[in-house]
Chain A
Amino acid sequence: MRAISAKKIQDTVAELCIRANIFLRRDVLKALKSASKKETNKRAKELLEATIKNARIAGKDKLAICQDTGMPVVFVEIGRDLKIKGDLKSAINKGVESGYIKGSLRNSVITDPILRGTPKYSPAIIHIDTVKGNKLKLTVLPKGFGCENKSQLKMFKPTANIREIKKFILDAVKDAGPDACPPYVLGVGIGGTADYACLLAQKALLRDIGIGNRQVEIKLLELELLRQVNKLNIGPMGLGGRTTVLAVNIETHSTHIAGLPVAVNISCHALRSATKTL
């Protein structure tokens, strides 16, 4: 059986924290550039150009794209024919700490949500899944809280129609308005349980912009929502323009006969993540 050491996992997580926070995802940068070209509102165009310039400076000066380097969320896919030597979760948290320190990122994690205290770098939020094979896939998604604060969940009736669902998603964007650094990327989770819909919405942000859902009906819904949201005229910084959202990524899952959970995870324009397979 193939084996992998906790130290190797720790070092990889550290590297991914730095990469995610400093180098903007290629698909996000491409979407920003394409939006900037198409934008007809002069100020919106200028603001989009500033975000593109910011990404360039961050990469060049090795600075975080955003000062909010997020709550680190780590997704782990473990091949069932792989053995991990050591403690996986502690390796991930140690990796987060060393990566955040090495990258001069921000300590934004509060140990006790009520008592608060001095912010630290970890623990990360960790999602572990098992898959076929003998590989280990690690993904770090630093989630800033300006936009995380605007995420929403609604438990619809099973008889709800698609119009109601679309309205909920549109309203979530209107509610976020200018506050959460538009243009946004919307991660939407439909189905499962309340918690699982939220997880799907978050995972949807990991899919590259421009790659639609594999199911044609859902892909069409993504495009339809994108078109409708971009008519809201919120625009970059909420100051108007046709670029309110860069992409809508929807993920679905089976659910219960009595319900239809829908979650929207809003990401700011600095959608950051990095992945490596060991």
Chain B
Amino acid sequence: MKQINTPLDKIDIGKLEIGDKVLLSGVIYTARDRAHKRLIEAIKQHRKLPISLRGQIIYYCGPTQTPKGKIIGSCGPTTSARMDEFTPLLLEAGLLGMIGKGARSQEVVRVIKKYKAVYFLTYAGCAALLSRYVKSAKAIAYKDLGPEAIYKLEVKDFPLIVGIDTRGRSIYGKK
């Protein structure tokens, strides 16, 4: 089991290999389909982004409503492949890590290798369990999108498996 903190350190993530179990601590940002679309539009139009992407991790997640007295609701990963078309530009803009479920396109594998980034898997369909690793949560951008807003999450020992490492190797093999 390896420990990793955010913002990501290039040397640390360079040591990760596919299949490694990782416990992540620090700040991560949620973004899914429409938040991605907006981030990409902003990048293309040279507008300021609502979050700085440098060294950061995006978690493909749209949590449920937060029950009274809880930090966050259920918050598992959504299917990563839907974000594939947006990933190259985000990595170019400095993003270093992604958390989701399922396989990625060949193009995403290629750009992960190019920018020495990393793609993590987390327990798919285990949203209640994963909520226990979230220590704070706040919607910080695109709030009109409801659960698709960008949330800033502070996590402690969030369980991950390395899906694609910085050398461009995928746990799902070659497609």
**Residues in chain A within 8 A of chain B (CB atoms):** 47, 50-51, 53-55, 57-58, 61-69, 101, 104-108, 116, 118-119, 146, 149, 177-181, 237-239, 268-270
List, sorted by A's number, 11 A–B pairs whose CB atoms are closer than 8 Å. A54-B128, A54-B129, A64-B73, A67-B64, A106-B73, A119-B146, A146-B79, A178-B103, A179-B102, A268-B125, A269-B125
Q: State how many angstroms separate the Cβ of A92 from the closest Cβ of chain B.
A: 21
On chain A, the residues within 8 Å of B152 by CB distance are none
Q: Besides A69-B74, A238-B172, 18 other CB < 8 A contacts?
A: A51-B126, A61-B131, A64-B64, A64-B128, A65-B127, A67-B62, A67-B75, A68-B127, A104-B66, A105-B65, A106-B63, A106-B65, A107-B146, A146-B101, A178-B172, A179-B79, A180-B102, A237-B124
The answer to whether A104 and B73 touch across the interface, beta carbons within 8 angstroms, is: yes
Provide the bound-state CA to CA distance between A61 and B72, in Å. Answer: 12
A176: nearest residue on chain B (CB-CB)?
A: B102
The answer to whether A63 and B67 touch across the interface, beta carbons within 8 angstroms, is: yes
Q: State how many angstroms separate the Cβ of A108 from the closest Cβ of chain B.
A: 7
The answer to whether B64 and A105 touch across the interface, beta carbons within 8 angstroms, is: yes
Q: Report, nearest first, the 7 A-B pairs whose CB atoms are least far apart.
A: A179-B102, A58-B128, A54-B126, A104-B67, A54-B129, A64-B74, A63-B128
Q: State how many angstroms separate the Cβ of A105 from the closest Cβ of chain B.
A: 6
* Partner among B64, B79, B80, B102 whose Cβ is within 8 Å of the Cβ of A106: B64
* Partner among B64, B126, B171 whose Cβ is within 8 Å of the Cβ of A239: B171
Judge whether B87 is part of the interface by a CB distance below 8 angstroms: no
The answer to whether A104 and B65 touch across the interface, beta carbons within 8 angstroms, is: yes
Kindly identify, within residues 19 to 59 of chain B, every residue whose CB is under 8 Å from any CB belonging to chain A.
Answer: 34
On chain B, the residues within 8 Å of A268 by CB distance are 124-125
Contact flags (1/0) for B137-154 with A, using CB distance below 8 Å? 000000011111000000
Q: State how many angstroms separate the Cβ of A32 from the closest Cβ of chain B.
A: 10
The answer to whether A238 and B64 touch across the interface, beta carbons within 8 angstroms, is: no
Provide the bound-state CA to CA distance between A150 and B128, in Å. Answer: 24
The answer to whether A181 and B124 touch across the interface, beta carbons within 8 angstroms, is: yes
The answer to whether A146 and B78 touch across the interface, beta carbons within 8 angstroms, is: yes
The answer to whether A181 and B74 touch across the interface, beta carbons within 8 angstroms, is: no
The answer to whether B64 and A104 touch across the interface, beta carbons within 8 angstroms, is: yes
Provide the bound-state CA to CA distance between A62 and B164, in Å. Answer: 34
On chain B, the residues within 8 Å of A178 by CB distance are 101-103, 172
On chain A, the residues within 8 Å of B110 by CB distance are none
Judge whether B86 is part of the interface by a CB distance below 8 angstroms: no
Number of A-B contacts (CB under 8 A): 130
On chain B, the residues within 8 Å of A63 by CB distance are 64, 67, 70, 73-74, 127-128, 131
The answer to whether A50 and B129 touch across the interface, beta carbons within 8 angstroms, is: yes
Judge whether B93 is part of the interface by a CB distance below 8 angstroms: no
Judge whether B121 is part of the interface by a CB distance below 8 angstroms: yes
On chain B, the residues within 8 Å of A57 by CB distance are 128-129, 132
Judge whether B81 is part of the interface by a CB distance below 8 angstroms: yes
The answer to whether A238 and B102 touch across the interface, beta carbons within 8 angstroms, is: yes
* Partner among B103, B128, B148 whose Cβ is within 8 Å of the Cβ of A238: B103
On chain B, the residues within 8 Å of A47 by CB distance are 123
Provide the bound-state CA to CA distance between A61 and B66, in Å. Answer: 12
* Partner among A51, A55, A108 whose Cβ is within 8 Å of the Cβ of B147: A108
Q: State how many angstroms separate the Cβ of B29 from the closest Cβ of chain A.
A: 16
Provide the bound-state CA to CA distance between A177 and B171, in Å. Answer: 13
Provide the bound-state CA to CA distance between A58 and B131, in Å. Answer: 10
Provide the bound-state CA to CA distance between A179 and B67, in Å. Answer: 28
On chain B, the residues within 8 Å of A104 by CB distance are 64-68, 73
Most buried by B among A51, A108, A116, A238: A238
The answer to whether B81 and A179 touch across the interface, beta carbons within 8 angstroms, is: yes
Q: State how many angstroms separate the Cβ of B60 from the closest Cβ of chain A.
A: 10
Provide the bound-state CA to CA distance between A238 and B103, in Å. Answer: 9
Provide the bound-state CA to CA distance between A221 and B123, in Å. Answer: 32
Provide the bound-state CA to CA distance between A65 and B125, in Å. Answer: 7
Judge whether B88 is part of the interface by a CB distance below 8 angstroms: no
Judge whether B168 is part of the interface by a CB distance below 8 angstroms: no
On chain B, the residues within 8 Å of A68 by CB distance are 62, 76, 78, 127
